[in-house]
Chains A and B, each alone.
Chain A
């Protein structure tokens, strides 16, 4: 499957590596090329991971990343509102089948889910992990 990941931060880079390992063709978009250093170099050289330095909200950049053929779009940039714009564009304008968006704000999360986007909340996962460690405090 062709996968586009917007945002090459910690989560984006790790996801790209895992998905490429699983045999998917992954394209990573980030405006800051330095973030690409966190990606596995051999998989970039072999073409399993493609990197695009640019603004993920630009239609040119998205089309260059092959959004028309992508089966999965993952928005994992820093900010909720950024991820929301990218994920909604992928889902509502480019009709990508599966779109996953990282968002901490519950109100925004509900709006994006209403548009058929799957949401993950990194803050909530952190809270749940800590609570699990504390074991029913």
Chain B
């Protein structure tokens, strides 16, 4: 595929490198000639110094034959204008833009940027992934140690958030007994009880499946 990347900062150059490694043809645009030169040294791909929000620069970059145009500069207005020009004037089929400000995500989507990446969401997802999840609390062994009563806190980015108990695949023989929300509301665990971020779940599971249950409830999206 032929991909044009606007922005040779840390994000743009890392993206370009991974695209090149995957065998794609990549063209990098950045107004900072030094940044661009560094990215090109590492990549060996072609590029041009300039602003991608210029039809002349996009034309020279070959936006008319590119399958994807990606704008990941630190400037939202630059990313937006470049994507609009690539799409509307040079008919690049797919445009992707970074929204540095979460406020701008809706506008980007409204004007027809095909994929909008919100910087805050990326940071939160990465951060949450690198943080230790809430641990499994083994509260009490029951049935001569063959079962375990456990406490599990649901992380905000867990796949379980917003889902009913029956929609989550729990290990055989395990059961959610109680769901206590962060504000202290207590519900008995029913199949249609919907789990929320930061809920604390009291469950019983076969002793050897307690970890699996914990994983099912804390796996990140």
Known: A92-B110, A93-B106, A93-B110. Contact between A81 and B80, CB under 8 A? yes
The answer to whether A57 touches B104, judged by C-beta atoms less than 8 angstroms apart, is: yes
The answer to whether B85 touches A111, judged by C-beta atoms less than 8 angstroms apart, is: yes
| B88 contacts the other chain (CB 8 A) | yes
| B81 contacts the other chain (CB 8 A) | yes
CB-CB contacts below 8 Å: A99-136 with B: 105, 107-108, 111, 115
Query: How many inter-chain residue pairs (CB < 8 Å) link A and B?
Result: 56
Distance between Cα atoms of A42 and B156 in the complex (Å): 52
Known: A81-B78, A85-B77. Contact between A111 and B88, CB under 8 A? yes
Chain A interface mostly? helix
| B76 contacts the other chain (CB 8 A) | yes
Q: Report the minimum CB–CB distance from B49 to chain A (whole Å).
A: 17
| A80 contacts the other chain (CB 8 A) | yes
The answer to whether A108 touches B85, judged by C-beta atoms less than 8 angstroms apart, is: yes
The answer to whether B106 touches A81, judged by C-beta atoms less than 8 angstroms apart, is: no
B89 contact from A80, A88, A107, Cβ within 8 A: A107
The answer to whether A57 touches B101, judged by C-beta atoms less than 8 angstroms apart, is: yes
A84 contact from B54, B80, B103, Cβ within 8 A: B80
The answer to whether B88 touches A93, judged by C-beta atoms less than 8 angstroms apart, is: no
The answer to whether A58 touches B103, judged by C-beta atoms less than 8 angstroms apart, is: yes
Interface size grouping (class) on chain A: 10 to 19
The answer to whether B81 touches A84, judged by C-beta atoms less than 8 angstroms apart, is: yes
The answer to whether B103 touches A82, judged by C-beta atoms less than 8 angstroms apart, is: no
| A79 contacts the other chain (CB 8 A) | yes
A68 CB contacts on chain B under 8 angstroms: none
Q: Report the minimum CB–CB distance from A24 to chain B (whole Å).
A: 26
| B107 contacts the other chain (CB 8 A) | yes
The interface bits of chain B over 47-72 (1 if a CB of A lies within 8 angstroms of the residue's CB, else 0) are 00000011100000000000000000
A60 CB contacts on chain B under 8 angstroms: 103
Known: A88-B107, A92-B107. Contact between A111 and B80, CB under 8 A? no
Max chain B Cβ within 10 angstroms of own Cβ: one of A58, A81, A89, A93: A81
Distance between Cα atoms of A88 and B80 in the complex (Å): 10
Distance between Cα atoms of A60 and B106 in the complex (Å): 14
Distance between Cα atoms of A115 and B111 in the complex (Å): 9
| B84 contacts the other chain (CB 8 A) | yes
The answer to whether B80 touches A85, judged by C-beta atoms less than 8 angstroms apart, is: yes
The answer to whether A57 touches B55, judged by C-beta atoms less than 8 angstroms apart, is: no
Distance between Cα atoms of A93 and B84 in the complex (Å): 17
22 examples of A-B residue contacts, CB within 8 angstroms: A57-B76, A57-B77, A57-B101, A80-B81, A81-B53, A81-B75, A81-B78, A81-B80, A85-B104, A85-B107, A88-B107, A88-B110, A89-B104, A92-B107, A92-B110, A92-B111, A105-B53, A107-B55, A107-B88, A111-B84, A111-B88, A115-B111
5 other contacts beyond A84-B77, A85-B77, with CB at 8 A cut-off?
Answer: A81-B78, A92-B107, A93-B106, A108-B53, A108-B84
